[in-house]
Each structure stands twice: as structure tokens, then as C-alpha cells.
Amino acid sequence: MGIFEIFLKKKELIPLVTFVSLAGLGAVSASVYSLFKTDVILNRSKNPEPWENVDPTQPQKLLSINQQWRPIEELQNVKNLTK
């Protein structure tokens, strides 16, 4: 008995299987999307501080509304002192 024969006999399963499949596909695609973001660390031995390489002018969110970046003076002073 194939999957299509089951769907023909029990038509109420079609929406359930559709929505569960779409939710699973969405979860997998969101996971794959987040793997390619700059703030995700997969290999810490290669680059232990990847946040130093993040471009502050590039938005890091999927949707950014009115994002403005300006450096914080205290953090810049600490960063310059530690280098």
C-alpha cells in the first residue's frame, strides 16, 4: 500500500502532512541560513574570535529597519589598549 493510496482513502491526512512538511522544510532552511552568518562559530580553533571580523556596516539580521551604527568610545579605547 503506497502513500498515495493512503491519501486517497484518508483525505484528512493531506493537510496535516502538508503543514508538517512545510514546517520541517522551514526549520531546515532557517538552520542552513544561520550556518552561513558571520556570527556563527563552527570551528573555534581556526578563528577563536570571529566577532572581530564582523563588518558593522552590514546588517546581521534577516530584516533590519532603520539600523544605524556608531562606535562606542569606551569600547574603542579598550580595543586600542589591548592591541
**pLDDT value of position 24:** 98
The average confidence (pLDDT) of the chain is 81
> What's the DSSP call for residue 44?
T
Measured between alpha carbons, how far is 19 from 59 in angstroms, rounded to an integer?
A: 31
Phi then psi dihedrals of residue 11, to 5 deg: -70, -20
Domains in the chain, number: 1
**pLDDT value of position 22:** 98
* pTM > 0.75: yes or no: no
Q: Which residue has the cell 581556526?
A: 46
The answer to whether 34 and 40 are in contact (CB under 8 A) is yes
**pLDDT value of position 18:** 94
Instruction: Find all residues with CB under 8 Å of 41, minimum gap 6, and list them.
Output: 47, 50
Find the domain containing 78 and state its range: 3-82
**pLDDT value of position 39:** 66
Reply yes or no on whether the pLDDT at 70 is more than 80: no
